[in-house]
């Protein structure tokens, strides 16, 4: 049996959780996700970790093109505990653990059910607001 996997990009405001699946975590996939955020909110300040898909190349081009409406701020290296989005992944991990899913679409279906239900998302910190 061949293992399949997917990656998820996620962003959280006080009232909404936006996510997108990607086969790989590439810079192009990140820019597609950033465009989705920009279309939804118009102006975005996005806090990200120091992953390679968040830097250089097409990401810099996207940031130059949208310098008035889209900004990135980086968390210090190796500090996932500071990133509130990390708490959003926990319900999905719980849903998928100890479960045999034969296809990637089946796994994505179960994750979507969790992510699309606001009651499953953890409470946000008070310093985040729309």
CATH number at residue 19: 3.30.420.10
> Mind listing the pLDDT tens digit for each residue in 37-59?
999 999 999 999 989 999 999 99
| 37 within some domain | yes
pTM of the model: 0.81
| 126 within some domain | no
Number of domains in the chain: 1
Measured CA to CA, the distance from residue 59 to residue 63 in angstroms comes to 6
Measured CA to CA, the distance from residue 67 to residue 81 in angstroms comes to 28
| 125 within some domain | no
Residue 31: give the domain boundaries. Answer: 7-120
> Mind listing the pLDDT tens digit for each residue in 73-111?
999 888 888 887 888 888 888 888 888 888 888 889 988
């Amino acid at each position: 049996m061949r293992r399949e996997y997917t990656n998820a990009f996620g962003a959280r405001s006080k009232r909404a959780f936006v996510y997108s699946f990607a086969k790989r975590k590439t810079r192009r996939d990140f820019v597609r996700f950033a465009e989705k955020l920009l279309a939804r909110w118009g102006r975005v300040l996005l806090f990200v970790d120091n992953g390679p898909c968040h830097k250089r190349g097409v990401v810099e081009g996207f940031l130059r093109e949208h310098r008035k409406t889209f900004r990135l701020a980086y968390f210090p290296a190796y500090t996932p505990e500071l990133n509130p989005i990390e708490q959003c992944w926990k319900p999905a991990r719980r849903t998928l653990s100890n479960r045999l899913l034969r296809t990637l679409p089946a796994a994505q279906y179960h994750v979507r059910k969790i992510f699309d239900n606001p009651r499953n998302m953890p409470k946000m910190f008070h310093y985040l607001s729309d």
